[in-house]
Amino acid sequence: MKKHIVVIPDGAADTAGGGSSTPLESARTPWLDRMASRGRVGRIMNTPSGFPPGSDVAILSLLGFSPEKGYTGRGPLEAAAMGIPMGKGDFIMRMNLVGIKNGLMDDYSAGHISTRDSGRIIKLLNSRLDEPGVRFFTGSGYRHIARIKGNFSGLELTPPHDITGRKISRYLPSGPGSGRLIGIMERARKIISSCGSGGTAKTPATDVWFWGGGGRPALPSFRKVYGRKAAVITAVNLVKGIAGLCGMDVIKVPGITGYLDTDYAAKAEYALRNIKRYDMIFIHVEAPDEAGHEGSFSKKKRAIEDIDRHIIRPLYGHVLHNPGTVCAVIPDHPTPVSRKTHVRGHVPFLVFGGGENRAQAGRFTEKYAASSGFELESFSFINFLLGQ
């Protein structure tokens, strides 16, 4: 049985207009391009019609699971990774600490506030917020979880990274139970303001923002569906949650952060160190997505180059010397720097190794993938990969 290593550079795909280049096209990626020139390049749509183009939906689809079966929202997936109990009647939401100025969503991450500073705020909110059935849980950085008892079926919530620079009044919770949530947000603002800024954060945390809500999820076992023992390497609780619910292991790696300062090399090192124990290892890298949300072309380009240098290079060498190993690279969704949010669109993918290396001209870019004429249907990537 062949071994498979899959690199997921979150949000690395982008869009270009007016003759401009995408970060993938502008980045210097000699190792990705070597894989592309000796492997198979194509494209795929990981966001099914009718679903939001978030990482939760896109990664489930990438793994071959339809979001229509068992998916309830992003919050519950992250809660599962954190070991938060989810009972009947619990509504679980992702909760960002954000910076709101003059009624505008100034910063969806409160300046990428540290976990230490945000933990202090979450502790204060839990002690001072007098609301029965409400509990906040500290995650990492600006990413946290809210668990609320109640029926919120039909509630509409907007991710804060979708509305950077916009008036929040148009995007507050709406629908069943929204008045209760807005009241909690207003009281939370007063509590946060009473404890000063978000510590060392560049932009102080001023508010909480709820999104990605749902009830307890139920996902199929990856091993039962595909017959492969799999593990993930990631710093993001969302991906850890999906992995846990699908029966995958999470390989702990020191020094990984979910941002541009992550230890890229450690991710590759731990994947290669553990590949004998698993049939498949997924390496998830959040940095390009964060740069896309910040609208920074240069940061996204740098993240892609760091992935190429520190992750793709050692994997390329490993595959060359181990014909029984296949490496794939596939973003989950595009996060264009011009939009600062996820969009529904095709992403490029490449598959390299397995002893069937080709020799062709090629690059790992959106344009080259589109010109290849090779396109996979949604949910079919893993089946295709296992056939290589």
For the segment 86-123, what is each residue's pLDDT rounded down to a tens digit? Answer: 988 999 999 999 999 999 999 999 999 999 999 999 99
169 and 244 share a domain? no
Range of lowest pLDDT (198-207, 212-221, 223-232): 198-207
Task: Give the global pTM.
Answer: 0.82
Backbone dihedral region of 180: left (phi > 0), alpha (psi from -120 to 50 degrees) or beta? alpha
Percent of the chain with pLDDT over 90: 83
57 and 206 share a domain? no
Read off the pLDDT of each residue in 212-228 and give the average, rounded to a whole number. Answer: 93
58 and 193 share a domain? no
pLDDT of residue 205: 94
Dist CA 271 CA 239 (whole Å): 16
pLDDT band, very low/low/confident/very high, at 359 (cuts 50, 70, 90): low
Domain boundary residue among 214, 234, 249? 214
Mean pLDDT of the chain: 93
Q: Where in the sequence is the domain holding 103, given as residue range(s)?
A: 77-214
pLDDT of residue 361: 63
Domain boundary residue among 152, 183, 214? 214
pLDDT of residue 126: 96
Domain boundary residue among 214, 232, 263? 214
> End-to-end CA distance of the chain, in Å?
11
188 and 95 share a domain? yes
Total number of domains in the chain: 2
pLDDT of residue 195: 73
27 and 133 share a domain? no
For the segment 178-202, what is each residue's pLDDT rounded down to a tens digit? Answer: 999 999 999 999 999 887 544 444 4
Query: Does residue 307 register a pLDDT over 90?
Result: yes
251 and 345 share a domain? yes
pLDDT of residue 201: 40
pLDDT of residue 18: 60
Q: 239-268 burial, b for 16+ CB within 10 Å, e for fewer?
A: bbbbbbbbebbebebeebbbbbebbbebbb
167 and 207 share a domain? yes
361 and 236 share a domain? yes
194 and 244 share a domain? no
134 and 44 share a domain? no
- The more confidently predicted of residues 216 and 272 is 272
pLDDT band, very low/low/confident/very high, at 274 (cuts 50, 70, 90): very high
175 and 238 share a domain? no
CATH number for 278? 3.40.720.10
Range of lowest pLDDT (204-208, 237-241, 351-355): 351-355
- Among 92, 54, 49, 87, smallest CA distance to 68 is for 49
121 and 253 share a domain? no
Read off the pLDDT of each residue in 74-85 and give the average, rounded to a whole number. Answer: 91
Q: CB neighbours of 194 closer than 8 A, spacing ≥ 6? A: none
